[in-house]
Chains A and B, each alone.
Chain A
Amino acid sequence: DIQMTQSPSSLSASVGDRVTITCRASQNIRNYVNWYQQKPGKAPQLLIYVTSNLRSGVPSRFSGGGSGTDFTLTVGTLQPDDFATYYCQQAYSSPWTFGQGTQLEI
């Protein structure tokens, strides 16, 4: 199985900051990584797919990059609504695995 390792596990930031979350795959997954945002008590929401494609309706302050084994999710200017937990997910081979999550806190 492909392991997805996110860093950091938690991150403290302020409104207006720029933050980057990293996800490392245990093997080359080309560009098949997706990113999700989850708030407490809510279902996850897809933000970015296939490394850098912004899902319709997602603010442009979210961006993704990387390839192979190393990927990033960047939030350009943090807004109050962005404080949540973020997960990467590899879509290269089954079983489809997630990172352990990054909790973004104020």
Chain B
Amino acid sequence: EVQLVESGGGRVQPGGSLRLSCVASGFTFNDFAMHWVRHVPGKGLEWVSGISWNTDTIGYADSVRGRFTVTRDNAKNSLYLEMNSLARADTAVYYCARSPGGYSLPRFDIWGQGTLVTVSS
């Protein structure tokens, strides 16, 4: 079964840090670009970051650039998101998502179940 499973979410104080992980199974991980997308409760979807299969291309939303870092370990079929200087506006459900083909022209065809990040004092 093709699957993505996120972990690492939780409650953190403003200014704190978290590291999200996403483990892939059921497909050849290094054939796909991978992305992080978040959903603010009661609001819409926001693309956060993406990384090509070979890490040559990495992108960030303006709202997280300089604070978040995306990495992947193809040997471990894993995607990561290091989040620093967290703010209340970062409170959301974070999804990892797969995109066939290269980094460009993404379509997110497989999603994880999501992990909730709550930034609160």
Q: Which residues of A contact B107 (CB under 8 A)?
A: 34, 46, 49-50, 89, 91
Say whether A17 faces chain B, with CB atoms less than 8 Å apart.
Answer: no
Count of chain B residues near A, Cβ 8 A:
24
Q: What's the nearest-Cβ distance from chain A to residue B65, in Å? A: 10
A45 touches B59 (CB 8 A): no
Say whether A55 faces chain B, with CB atoms less than 8 Å apart.
Answer: yes
Interface 1/0 per residue, A71-100 and B, CB below 8 Å? 000000000000000010101101111111
- With A and B bound together, what is the CA distance between A38 and B47 in angstroms? 15
Q: What's the nearest-Cβ distance from chain A to residue B58, in Å? A: 10
Q: Which of B35, B50, B108 contacts A36 (CB 8 A)?
A: B108
**Given A32-B105, A91-B105, also A96-B62 (CB < 8 A):** no
**Given A43-B114, A96-B50, also A87-B44 (CB < 8 A):** yes
Q: Which of A34, A95, A97 contacts B59 (CB 8 A)?
A: A95
Q: Which residues of A contact B39 (CB under 8 A)?
A: 38, 44
Q: Which residues of A contact B35 (CB under 8 A)?
A: 96
- Selected A-B contacts with CB under 8 Å, 7 pairs: A44-B45, A45-B111, A46-B108, A49-B109, A89-B108, A92-B105, A95-B60
Which residues of B does A touch, CB under 8 Å?
35, 37, 39, 43-47, 50, 59-62, 95, 104-109, 111-114
Q: What are the nearest 5 A-B pairs in CB distance?
A: A43-B111, A49-B107, A98-B45, A96-B47, A101-B44
Given A38-B45, A55-B109: 15 more A-B contacts, CB < 8 Å: A32-B105, A34-B107, A36-B108, A43-B112, A44-B37, A44-B45, A44-B111, A50-B105, A50-B107, A89-B108, A94-B59, A97-B47, A98-B46, A98-B47, A101-B45
